[in-house]
Amino acid sequence: MPTKVVPIRFVDHLGNPSGPDHDVRMAIPVFDVTLCAPTDFTIAAQGNGIALVDTGADSNHATPESIRSLSLHRLYDGETHSVHGTVASTAYSGGLYFPSAQLLISTEITSDVFRNRCYSVIVGRRTLEMGCLVMDYPNRIFEWRVPIP
């Protein structure tokens, strides 16, 4: 089965390039990603950002500003549980475009506020389990392999 490979890179808390050998606070694993409408293939107009690779998050999250700028379709209201507590949230129908692999995934995206973070999107387990997440530190291979039917 063909596979698309999305590279993972590392940044520090300001978004500057870092590496997997740095202190964990200075080596945040991220994807290059574009948040878009789930059926919008005019991706370039939306701009690019970075997404945290978060195996501790169940769902995908994006800042309210990012969601508002795209006028994504509202699905439902709910709650988001995190280490910081429980907050009201809203889920939207959205898309995540990974330019390095030319991969567009239609998915649910929950609004969330990230204070003082260099990323505007979180990619959680429900999306990551669509493929194989490789974090091979000894061989320095960091990527997400997504099978394409």
- Report the chain's terminal Cα–Cα distance, integer Å: 7
Q: Which CATH topology does 3-147 take?
A: Cathepsin D, subunit A; domain 1 (2.40.70)
pTM attached to this predicted model: 0.89
Instruction: Note the pLDDT tens digit of each residue in 91-103.
Output: 999 999 999 999 9
Compute the half-sphere exposure of residue 115: CA atoms within 13 Å on the CB side of its CA.
1
Q: Where are the domains of the chain?
A: 3-147
How confident is the model over 25-69, as pLDDT tens digits? 679 999 999 988 876 655 544 556 899 999 999 999 998 888 888
